[in-house]
């Protein structure tokens, strides 16, 4: 069984097709540039409104996807495998819903299957589907875990996310080098201390 997606399914993160930007969106960006203290009519900023608008459509393309759909195809021919499945160090980027500032981090996603598994890249696709929206890290962690729990019906789910938030490192308290860790444990990873310790040891926490 090939657990990874075929090349024909494309990259995990792909840019959307170039779109036409409504005039009011361009003008909103020009207004922001003026508010920041610059001149949107100067040469270096002439095309910035279109670029910003298209960039934000890409940053938020998760609104156009249903992460649960990535978990619809599963595999039962796993040779009797019934131990933890873990995908570690999945890089992602999101944006904080409070300041629309970048959230950059990595996620670790684990589940304990019952009688079927899912292609490993699907776990990353679920993460990106939720991350490419305006987010808070706590909700992102819960949404990824809940999606896997509800759709795969495993014996346990563990999601740990580590990220840096520009809304804290680049503004406000301006404290670089600070990371935030959130986790959600479900099923046996929550109820059974031994299973919880095992999955956290595999993750490296």
Among 96, 108, 128, 135, the one annotated catalytic: 96
Catalytic residue chosen out of the listed positions 61, 97, 116, 162: 97
As a whole number of angstroms, the distance between CA 192 and CA 198 comes to: 10
Is residue 165 part of the annotated active site? The answer reads yes
24 is catalytic: no
Active-site residue among 137, 143, 147, 198?
137
Q: Which of the residues 26, 58, 61, 99 is marked catalytic? A: 99
Judge whether 97 counts as a catalytic residue.
yes
Q: Among the options 9, 27, 98, 138, which is catalytic?
A: 98
Instruction: Check if 205 is active-site.
Output: no
Which listed residue (58, 116, 162, 167) is catalytic? 167
Give catalytic status of residue 99 as yes or no.
yes
Is 137 labeled as catalytic in the residue annotation? yes
* HEC secondary structure over the chain: CCCCCCHHHCCCCCCCCCCCCCHHHHHHHHHHHHHHCCCCCCHHHCCHHHHHHHHHHHHCHHHHCCHHHHHCCEECCCCCCCCCEEEEEEEEEEEECCCCCEEEEEEEEEEECCCCEECHHHHHHHHHHHHCCEECHHHHHHHHHHHHHHHHCCCEEEEEEEEEEHHHHCCCCCCCCCCEEEEEEEEHHHHCHHHHHHHHHHHCC
Q: Which of 95, 108, 128, 165 is catalytic?
A: 165
Decide if 147 is catalytic. Answer: no
Catalytic residues: 96-99, 137, 165, 167
């Amino acid at each position: 069984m090939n657990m990874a997606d075929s090349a024909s399914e494309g990259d995990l993160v792909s840019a959307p097709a170039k779109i036409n930007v409504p005039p009011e969106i361009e003008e909103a960006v020009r207004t922001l540039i003026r508010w920041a203290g610059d001149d949107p009519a100067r040469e270096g900023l002439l095309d910035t409104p279109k670029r910003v608008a298209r960039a934000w459509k890409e940053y938020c393309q998760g609104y156009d996807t249903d992460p649960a759909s990535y978990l619809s195809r599963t595999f039962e021919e796993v040779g009797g495998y019934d131990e933890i499945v873990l995908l570690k160090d999945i890089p992602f980027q999101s944006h904080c819903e409070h300041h629309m500032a970048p959230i950059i981090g990595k996620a670790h996603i684990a589940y304990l299957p019952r009688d079927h598994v899912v292609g490993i890249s699907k776990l990353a696709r679920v993460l990106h589907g939720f991350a490419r929206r305006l987010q808070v890290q706590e909700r992102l962690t819960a949404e990824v875990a809940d999606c896997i729990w509800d759709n795969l019906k495993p014996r346990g789910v563990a999601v740990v996310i580590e990220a840096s938030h520009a809304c804290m490192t680049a503004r406000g308290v301006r404290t670089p080098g600070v990371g935030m860790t959130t986790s959600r444990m479900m099923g046996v990873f929550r109820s059974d201390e031994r299973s919880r310790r095992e999955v956290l040891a595999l993750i490296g926490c």
